[in-house]
Structure 1
């Protein structure tokens, strides 16, 4: 095997125990030991940023409305100054594709680092673990409490813990629903017991799911439910940074006195303290090799470094490293596939930004009249065509639009050319366009309709149609 990162058979996972004919799986509860270090500080910062973004954004007002609101009943999606409509959903699809490629690039760079630092499942699980520690004590105290028989003290501690878990789940559910219905009205209706049954059901659902996922299932979501764990290896290469154990340096494992020479004892640097296993949120032993369950949270790195400091050994027995580095080669950041991911990601981000900046907040559609005749000739001999003009105000303010037409030296519009629309309102206006017969050069010619907002010259739209006339006599 040399210095290559070894892999581990899933069936030897210490978290899962099989009984009988292997048809039933029993899960040992993982009690995570606390450990502090530089990577934990990064995780705390990332967690706070995610919490502020999630819980704070829904309460921001912007131009008189909620800054981010997915108003499904009205089929509009407000994102600060931008309002997206069903016909703009291609932009949301672009955003999802960008997020996917961003995840691919991050995974190729440093494995499942997204899972370990900023994935909501991991962040909420860490919050629930922190609550558990504050209520029931550290790892050994929690294990001891689990083994104790029923008592009022145990019942009290469990009630406090689960009540706090449910409180966090409820806050999460209310905030999440608050992105789909005005959050201020939602909270007011909740405290006044005026919520409709549908909204109340959704709040209960997301409260329970948060409570179960972060409080009970935890690593099971990452291992068995998240598809990312299954296909991540496809994006790895030999320069991907992965949490790895230096087997050559660490073996053979074994305890020793602090001042003892490990070489004389035939031992490596690993003192076999199992601290790396105790701090692991998914319950694996990183010393067994690369495992798909690993979420690259670096807890084992911090635990091992703390032990190395105590025994006076060099840090880095467990570290973020690559297969090439373990083989003694240099680490390469810029490799073709990684550069391709970054280039494609930047191009798509630039395209999305351009599309958002040039998004026109008014929509204009023109349909020809559905009469039996394509045109009609009035008493003066002029040619008249009928159209149905559909204008949609996609901005966040009420607007007054002026309708014009062009394409001929002389034309006139019969009908309402001033259209007043509230934000999100749609209006259909029937009009007729009259063109002198002498100005027609063919039976069918292009005609252009424009709408212009009175409040802003940049808010305008144009649509092309056809103007029909009689066949020219030879």
Structure 2
């Protein structure tokens, strides 16, 4: 049984960019054809180079930076401490991570409704590393035509040397990537020393090897396959697009009908549009699509086709912008709006979440005091005839230094703490403190009274913790 489905062009519109495509068959089980991406220079490529340099610089540099003796970014999983830019977070701060992920999601939705997949084209890690690997390939094996010719040629000493050099550099970059990633969890200076002296934990070797292999395969071999088949963003992006979304588009009204011609010839005299059908936009596309076929989910918005087409238009003395960032409405001659209800909705939720996280961080106290009343006994009388209640105070120190706290209680006349009132809590420790409180019977006016525990830091007088609890006594 054949696995091919015949596909026929049914769009009868004369201005369609697909009119010159005849009936063709799509093989459902065709093997992947390697994409040879042609190098191009231009405005958007320069923007990508800047973003790539900044992102890679931050990734490889931040792991080495320290602040007050602590790594600038360090996820200490065994100690359950997460050091970020001088602040320390603990598992109890997990809601902050959830909030940051929500911010990232709404930020992605907001940008996508405005400018499509610019995240994919300029900042996605898969794109960043893929472009680095392609740059290495271009430097070693040569231009697109030379790479194609080299792959078709039999193995010679030259071919083996070039292929070996390329893969060796790829593996080095992949190893540096894996080592750096693990360095955010295992201090990088210790990690390097332990790895090469064979004193590192077995998991360190495993994860460095894992991310080395993953980077090498994803950026060196799979490339566009990750974007087309593994990344979910390519699949659900369409629900955020509308006719006002600005995406990389080909203008068929200006470009069709396409056809080759000599420089200096007026295309109108030949009955042609501005597209000379040179195929440069296809040759530079990292996912191998033809942007002239319209918007496709494979397009990552990298704008390489814009730079390539603008270069051709400039040589032909035609206006640039045959392929450009534009909207569906603009292509149809309709007005296009940047701000609309959908963008306002995503923008409002994004601003709300950012404000909430900023407020939580600004008001976050680097310590916590929780009080748990002993429910095993309501109350008891001691030898002085005073009424006792038992509690467990839990003091969490989330600062970078040990803290000594002075404990006190208030809320009833003459109430006092019978146990230790001075407690030392190490950095990152959540210490339980059994506590007994008593009060004279005549001070109790009701069976259940509100009291307040206070833990005041001796080390840092500005750090004062307070929490409420209940004191239970007999019925008068």
Do they fold alike, i.e. is TM over 0.5?
yes
Could you tell me which residue of structure 2 aligns to residue 366 of structure 1? Answer: 371
C-alpha distance in 1 between matches for 2:14 and 2:438: 84
The CA distance in 1 between the partners of 2:461 and 2:59, in whole Å, is 36
Q: Deviations over 1:261-284 (max 9, x none)?
A: 211111111111000000000000
The alignment yields a C-alpha RMSD, in angstroms, of 1.9
C-alpha distance in structure 1 between counterparts of 2:423 and 2:17, whole Å = 70
Shift of 1:6: 7.4
Check the 8 A contact 1:374/1:468 in 2, yes or no.
yes
Establish whether residue 292 from structure 1 lines up as the match of residue 297 from structure 2. Answer: yes
Distance 1:104 1:457 in 2: 44
The answer to whether the 8 Å contact 1:7/1:291 transfers is no
Give the match for residue 460 of structure 1: 464
| Structure 2 partner of 1:25 | 30
User: Hey, what does 1:166 align to over in structure 2?
Assistant: 171
Shift, 1:7, TM fit: 9.3
Q: Deviations over 1:205-247 (max 9, x none)?
A: 1100000000000000001100000010100111100111111
Unaligned runs of at least 5 residues, structure 1: none
State the alpha-carbon separation in 2 of the partners of residues 346 and 457 from structure 1.
Answer: 35
CA apart distance, 1:436? 0.9
Describe the SS at the equivalent of 2:31: strand
Which 4+ stretches in 1 moved above 3 angstroms?
1-8
Matches within 5 A, 1:124-273: 124-273=129-278
SS at match of 2:37: coil
1:122 paired to 2:136: no
Which runs of 5 or more structure 2 residues have no equivalent in the other structure?
1-10
Write the distance in 1 (CA, Å) between the matches of 2:15 and 2:398.
Answer: 57
- Tell me the secondary structure at the aligned position of residue 47 of structure 2: helix
| Corresponding residue SS for 1:301 | helix
Q: Which residue of 2 aligns with 1:407?
A: 411
Q: Is 2:15–2:253's contact at 8 Å kept on the other side of the alignment?
A: no
Tell me if 1:340 matches 2:345: yes
Q: 1:180, CA displacement in angstroms? A: 1.4
CA offsets 1:410-466 (integer angstroms, 9 cap, x no match): 111111111112210122221211111110011111111111222334423222221
Tell me the distance in 1 between the aligned counterparts of 2:346 and 2:461: 39
Please state if 1:81 is matched with 2:78. no
1:25 counterpart SS class: coil
Tell me by how many angstroms 1:55 deviates.
1.2
For the 8 Å contact 2:263–2:316, the answer to whether it is kept is yes
Q: Contact conserved, 1:5 with 1:244, CA < 8 A, in 2?
A: no
Aligned to 1:321: 326
SS in structure 2 at match of 1:363: strand
Query: Contact (CA 8 Å) 1:368, 1:388: kept in 2 or not?
Result: yes
CA shift, 1:141, in A, is 0.8
SS in 2 for 1:391: strand
Which residue pairs with 2:420 in the alignment?
Answer: 416
Query: How far off its partner does 1:4 sit?
Result: 9.8
Moved more, 56-65 or 122-131: 56-65
Q: How big is each residue's C-alpha offset from its partner over 1:177-204, in whole Å with a ceiling of 9 and x where there is no partner?
A: 1111222211111222222221101110
Distance 2:342 2:375 in 1: 55
Question: Given that residues 382 and 435 in structure 1 are in contact (C-alpha distance below 8 angstroms), is that contact kept between their aligned partners in structure 2?
Answer: yes
Cross-structure match for 1:431: 435
- CA separation in 1, counterparts of 2:37 and 2:458? 63
Asked if residue 450 in structure 1 is aligned to residue 463 in structure 2, the reply is no
Counterpart contact for 2:408–2:416, Cα < 8 Å: no
1:463-474 alignment, distance < 5 Å: 463-472=467-476
Report how many aligned residue pairs link the two structures.
Answer: 462
Tell me by how many angstroms 1:403 deviates: 1.2
Counterpart CA distance in 2 for 1:418 and 1:63 is: 28
CA–CA distance in structure 2, aligned partners of residues 251 and 3 of structure 1? 9
Please point out which of 385, 392, 399 is paired with 1:388. 392
Q: Give the whole-Å Cα distance in 2 for the aligned partners of 1:382 and 1:161.
A: 82
Asked whether the equivalents of residues 366 and 463 of structure 1 are also in contact (C-alpha less than 8 Å), the reply is: yes
- Quote how far apart the aligned CAs of 1:123 are: 0.5
SS at match of 2:30: strand
State how far apart, in whole Å, the 2-side matches of 1:137 and 1:163 are: 17
Aligned 8 A contact 2:15 2:252 in 1: no
- Give SS of 1:26's match: coil
| CA positional deviation for 1:83 | 1.6
Q: CA deviation at 1:5?
A: 9.2
* Cα shift at 1:409: 2.2
Deviations 1:332-354 (A, max 9, x none): 11111112211221111011011
Scaled by the length of structure 2, what TM-score is found?
0.93
- Is the contact between residue 113 and residue 295 of structure 1 (CA under 8 Å) also seen in structure 2? yes
Alpha-carbon separation, structure 1, partners of 2:432 and 2:250: 68
SS in 2 for 1:27: coil
Partner of 2:355: 350
Partner of 2:379: 375
- Give 1:357 deviation, angstroms: 1.3
Q: Give TM-score, length-normalised by structure 1.
A: 0.94
- Is the CA contact 1:108–1:236 (under 8 Å) kept in the aligned structure 2? yes
